[in-house]
Structure 1
Amino acid sequence: MDTLSYKTISANKATVQKEWVVVDATDQVLGRLSAKVAKLLRGKYKPNYTPHVDCGDNVIIINADKVILTGNKWTDRVYLNFTGYPGGQKKTSPAELIKKGEAKLFNRVVKGMLPKNKLGAQLLRNLYVYAGSEHPHAAQQPKTIDINSLK
């Protein structure tokens, strides 16, 4: 038996092959879409996934203004922020966040699904969110994927 062929391959910054991916958010549920985007950012769909390395793809979300939330979550869901001062707890809803910009809502949701460390902050910088169907990343030649085909 050739034992060299059974070695576990650990990716590092030099061996990682990052791609650019476009995801269409039209009529997608926010949480389900964000969970798949977080897995794409993390690199969990790749065979050489390594937990401590940024081996995920750069994800571009288009049509972010057409995302949906089921039930009354646009107004009933509450996101809490704390400024650090007494009485500094702020409440916001997804409807208020999407008025400020679609990127704020998606960053808030996807950030909660990434690791809470330096790697998670680095992975979140690979997410680009745009309200319309146009994006300025044509030079990177991103490929469009069907997010519904991923698990």
Structure 2
Amino acid sequence: MKSYIAKPADVQRKWYIVDAEGKTLGRLATEIATVLRGKNKVTFTPHVDGGDFVVVVNAEKVVLTGKKLEQKMYRYHTGYVGGLVEIPYKEMMAKKPEEVVAHAVSGMLPKNKLRSRMMTRLRVFAGPNHDHAAQNPEVLNFK
């Protein structure tokens, strides 16, 4: 019996919409990463970008558990000496709630050339409105 290997030209992409209101950030990000990667399809092939589009709304209403609200920090380095920048989670949610969800999803995708292609199919909106109604996105139900 031969194994099925999907080809990039054969990939059928669908659009899904996710309402992040009241959902835990990490659990939400794992489900989104699964769909972006294409692991929810029977035609999943690890080296082929076979995932779907995901639109996330209400990113500003995502929640964290425990003391992470006060303790979680986002860090990056500017490249200069002493250039470590730390931004608290509360400040990040106030300024860019879309980046919080995108950062969590990005960390759950494979660290290779496919990640940037998968991330282009993720659309995150802070509020309930989005501009992808023409694509007729289906509501993505979690387990």
Q: Same fold (TM over 0.5)?
A: yes
Q: Please tell me the root mean square deviation across aligned C-alpha atoms, in Å.
A: 1.1
Kindly indicate whether residue 94 of structure 2 is the aligned counterpart of residue 102 of structure 1.
Answer: no
Find 2:29's aligned residue among 23, 29, 34. Answer: 34
Distance of 1:32 and 1:93 partners within structure 2: 21
Distance (whole Å) between structure 1 residues aligned to residue 90 and residue 123 of structure 2: 20
- CA-to-partner distance for each residue in 1:50-77, whole Å, 9 max, x for gaps? 1111111100011111111012212201
SS of alignment partner, residue 114 of structure 2: helix
Match of 2:81 among 80, 83, 86: 86
Give the aligned residue type for 1:23.
V
Question: TM-score with structure 2 length normalisation?
Answer: 0.94
Q: Distance in 2 between matches of 1:74 and 1:90?
A: 18
Structure 2: unaligned runs, 5 residues or longer = none
Q: Name the larger-Rg structure.
A: 1
- Could you tell me which runs of 5 or more consecutive residues in structure 1 were left unpaired when the two chains were aligned: 1-5
Instruction: State the partner residue of 2:56.
Output: 61
**Taking structure 1 as the reference length, what is the TM-score of the superposition?**
0.89
Map 1:1-150 to 2 at 5 A: 6-147=1-142, 149=143
Identical columns (%)? 43
Equivalent residue letter for 1:82: H
Residues paired across the two proteins, number: 143
1:97 counterpart letter in structure 2: M
Runs of 4 or more above 6 Å deviation: none
Q: Is the 2:60–2:98 Cα contact (8 Å) retained in structure 1? A: no
